[in-house]
Amino acid sequence: MDLLPRAYPDQVGLAAASTWSGYALGYSAVGGDVRQTGMEAGYAALDPERYGLSGEHSPTGYKVVLGRERPLRLDCGVELGPYTVAYQTYGRLNADRSNAILICHALTGDQFVADPHPITGKPGWWDIMVGPGKPLDSDRYFLICANVLGGCMGTSGPKEINPKTGEPWGLSFPVITVGDMVRAQAELLDHLGIGDLFCVIGGSMGGMQVLAWAAYYPRRVFSAIPIAAAGNHSAQNIALHEVGRQAIMADPDWCAGDYLRQGRKPRRGLAVARMAAHITYLSEAALQRKFGRRLQGRAAVTYGFDADFEVESYLRHQGSTFVERFDPNSYLYITRAMDYFDLAEEFGGTLVKAFDHTPVRFFVVSFTSDWLFPTPESRVVVHALNAVAANVSFLEIETDKGHDAFLLEEPELHRVMRGFLSGAGEHRGLKGP
């Protein structure tokens, strides 16, 4: 039986009901498995175009309001509801709803995986991977990505309006975890009538969500691809996040988290947080190759504190553009969620128990130059999977691009992704849309 998240203890046993577009969606224990019931009638009641299931693409994405009748029980003990989930889809859901792939985004990502960003106009953050004929082929798969709980692109978070007060949540928004993000995604899929997933994939914090999906809902996940991730957040990464949070909170315009109501924004603090974080996404070799000690538009140093070096100018640009599209409080909340992530702790102190008897097919990927989530942390996950005789493949890709390699042109990653998904599709008996 699936080990259901502790937020839903009432689901362990014979049955539990939730609401889904006016229909009962139950969970029944059958032969040691947890199966959803009542989905056919509910799915037929949905408008496929309205919810992004028909193959017709909306560049602005979709939103649903969930938790009206049964709030989402958060790990902090708060019941959140109603709450909004903003998401985007690519491709068409096939007749038996077996070709769905959930893409989980990283800390500063969002649902606009392969669309121009609605604020910056820049290409989608994984446009290189998602689309017709690409490894995540929208001609074959139905791809869905939801802005995480606590985010700032339409899903409920500190930037959004608290329906009970009519004002921005700010720091009154409850602290969330990676587990909460995953449970909100599961509720979204229930609402859309997607009982299980062909694959869950994501890098960095997205990879954490992938591992949580496989641990919480193993019967709903056929395959899982965690990239550049880990089963918990290391002390070093917690420390790096704390530097960023303190930079934001030290900015006078943070206003103790109440800047939205006061018409201000801690731009300088958020920019510094982004600059510091961005260094961790690269490698020393990549920085040296891209910038070295080259000066920025000048023949000699100025003996001052302007951006003499190209690398300084690059980081300042990263910081200044980031503040236009991201909410400072969301940065606090999401980094804290990553810090709290410890899958082993949730399962009695050992990662092995998180995957005991798992039927999920895993493909774990790491990069040689990633010092944020280094390969040994991926090997810990692989060893836990090996201990329970799980179906797992592991690849460490040789590259000097650092942690962000999964977002960049990395031919070996694209090649092996195609191969893994093709093989998984054959075992699944996957049919096209």
3 state SS for the chain = CCCCCCCCHHHCCCCCEEEECCEEEEEEEECCEEEEECHHHHHHHCCCCCCCCECCCCCCCEEEEECCCCCEECCCCCEECCEEEEEEEECECCCCCCCEEEEECCCCCCCCCCCCCCCCCCCCCCCCCECCCCCECCCCCEEEEECCCCCCCCCCCCCCEECCCCEECHHHCCCCCHHHHHHHHHHHHHHHCCCCEEEEEEECHHHHHHHHHHHHCHHHEEEEEEECCCCECCHHHHHHHHHHHHHHHHCHHHHHHCCCCCCCCCHHHHHHHHHHHHHHHCCHHHHHHHCCCCECCCCCCCCCCCCCEHHHHHHHHHHHHHHHHCCHHHHHHHHHHHHHCEHHHHCCCCHHHHCCCCCCEEEEEEECCCCCCCHHHHHHHHHHHHHCCCEEEEEEECCCCCHHHHHCCCHHHHHHHHHHHHHHHHHHCCCCC
Per-residue tokens: 373: 């989530």
- Sequence-distant (6+) residues with CB within 8 A of 69 are 19
* Adjacency order of strands within the sheet including 33-37: 17-20, 23-30, 33-37
Name residues whose C-beta falls within 8 Å of residue 97's C-beta, 6 or more positions apart in sequence: 43, 193, 194, 195
Residues recognised as catalytic: 204, 370, 403
Apex CA 91: angle with CA 88 and CA 95, to 5°? 115
